[in-house]
Amino acid sequence: MILYYVMKSNSAHTLALFVIAIALVYFFYTVSKAIEVVGKTQVSTSDGIYKSYVTTSEEIQEKARTLTQRCSTKLCKVQTLLQFASNIPYVTNRFQQKSPQKTIEENFGDCDDKSNLLISMLHALDIEAYFVLVPKHIFVVVPLKDKRLSSRKGLWINGRKYYILESTAKDSFVGYPLQYKLDDIDVIVEPFTNQKVDIDKLEYKL
């Protein structure tokens, strides 16, 4: 009887330790994933920490595919997505950033909201794009090779030409004029990997 009780107690103790171990493993896994997510959505700037709200949701992917279904060139796809984002009414949102889905649903947004929507749709179509952060503003740039853009200036980053996509200008177009000094450009980042671009040379020219 005593032996049975001891064995039962040992079994219960072992089970309790096992449950605790599983709980600890889950806790540390959850914490590590949270740190990973934060690391992928935040970038340090001279203004502080910028947190992006990019998404790979099926809703945004479907929206991007639907909008560009008649496009046969990359330029057409980029211009179509830019047209959609830039024609969402621009309203300064000082309280919080919105998800791309919320920006579409509410049909308004500021430069953060509209740029996050635009770059999320571009990403859905596997189109390379980057955020450019300047004081109190953000815009998107894409590298494109198309003869129709030869007369438009671009932002040359380390010898490669990128065209500006300004989502806050209604009826905007690929190759929108740079509205800031080159020295104002603080950070260029790929938000889905959170990789900053090391800027060795920066020019704005044809």
Q: Cα separation of 188 and 31, whole Å? A: 28
- Tell whether the model's pLDDT for residue 6 goes beyond 70: no
Q: What is the pLDDT of residue 121?
A: 98
Contact (CB, 8 A) for 133 and 50: yes
Model confidence pLDDT, tens digit, residues 27-82: 444 433 333 333 456 887 777 788 889 999 999 999 999 999 999 999 999 999 99
Q: What is the pLDDT of residue 47?
A: 75
Neighbours of 112 (CB within 10 A): 22
List strand residue ranges (DSSP E) for 100-194, in order. 130-134, 137-142, 154-157, 160-165, 187-190
Model confidence pLDDT, tens digit, residues 146-189: 999 999 999 999 999 999 999 999 999 999 999 999 999 999 99
Identify the burial level of 58 via C-beta atoms within 10 angstroms of its C-beta, where 0-12 means exposed, 13-18 middle and 19 or more buried: exposed
pTM of the model: 0.79
Q: What is the pLDDT of residue 184?
A: 96
Contact (CB, 8 A) for 46 and 53: no
Q: What is the pLDDT of residue 18?
A: 64
Q: What is the pLDDT of residue 164?
A: 99
Q: What is the 3-state secondary structure (H, E, C) of 10-26?
A: HHHHHHHHHHHHHHHHH
Q: What is the pLDDT of residue 185?
A: 96
Model confidence pLDDT, tens digit, residues 105-134: 999 999 999 999 999 999 999 999 999 999
Provide the pLDDT confidence category of residue 19 given band limits of 50, 70 and 90.
low
